[in-house]
Homo-oligomer: A and B are copies of this chain.
Amino acid sequence: MERPVIPLGKPRGERADAARNRERLLDTARGMIAEHGAEKVTMDGLAERAGLGKGTVFRRFGTRAGIFRALLDADERRFQEQVLSGPPPLGPGADPVARLIAYGRARIAFLLDHHVISRAALDRAQPVPAGDASVSQIHIRMLLDLAKVPVPDLNGLSIQLTAALEGPLLLYLSMPETSTPPSMDAGRYLGDSWQALIERITH
C-alpha cells in the first residue's frame, strides 16, 4: 500500500525489446553502409529494412548523425580499452612521450579506418561527437602532465594538440596533394608529422 518515498533506485533500465531493436538497427545500418555507403543510409530506408517504424529509429538515435555516433561508440570503446589497459607503448607502462606518440599514431589509424562513419557523424546542429574528441583530449592532457612538459597552460595545449591530431581527418584538411580519399600513406604521413610535433614540443 505504502509508496516508497524514493521508488526509483534505478531508473528502470532499457526495456528488452528496445535493446533488441537497437541492436537490430545498428546491424542493419552496418549492412547498408557496407553495401551502398554511408550517404545512402536514410532513416526511412533503415526503418523499413529493419522492419521497424521510422518513429522508432528516431526515438533510439535522435538524429541521423546519432546513428553513426552510436556505431562509432562501439568501436571507440574497444579503442579506449587498448589505450587504457592494452600493452605499451599504447597502454600504460611506457614513457609518457612514447605513449603520446603511440597514441597519435593509433588514433590516426583509427580515424582513418572510421573516417566515413566519423564524417557522417558530424552534424551541423551539434557538430562534435563530443565523446571522441574529449576522450582524446583528456588522455593527451594526462600524458602531457605525466611527461612534465613545462607549459603555462596544459589545458590549452591539450585542446590544440587534439585539434592538430583529429582536425586534419575530421575536417578533411588537405592531405599532401591529392583530394582522393585518405590512404594508408596518409596515415603514415600524418603519424610521422605527429611524432615530429610531439618530439618538438617535449624537447
Q: Could you give, for residues 153-175 of chain A, a 1 whenever the CB lies within 8 Å of some chain B CB and a 0 otherwise?
A: 10111011111111110111110
Q: A153-B196, A196-B152, A196-B153 are in contact. Are A171 and B133 (CB under 8 A)?
A: yes
Q: A128-B172, A171-B167, A174-B133 are in contact. Are A197 and B157 (CB under 8 A)?
A: yes
B153–A193 CB distance below 8 A: yes
Contact of A200 among B162, B167, B194, B201 (CB under 8 A): B201
B168–A160 CB distance below 8 A: yes
A120–B124 CB distance below 8 A: yes
A153–B192 CB distance below 8 A: yes
Query: Is A102's beta carbon under 8 Å from chain B?
Result: no
Contact of A168 among B159, B189, B197 (CB under 8 A): B159
Q: Could you give, for residues 1-44 of chain A, a 1 whenever the CB lies within 8 Å of some chain B CB and a 0 otherwise?
A: 00000000000000000000000000000000000000000000
Q: Within the complex, what minimum Cβ distance (angstroms) separates A153 from chain B? A: 6
Q: Residues of A at under 8 Å CB distance from B?
A: 119-120, 122-124, 127-128, 130, 133-134, 137, 151-153, 155-157, 159-168, 170-174, 176, 189-190, 192-194, 196-197, 200-201
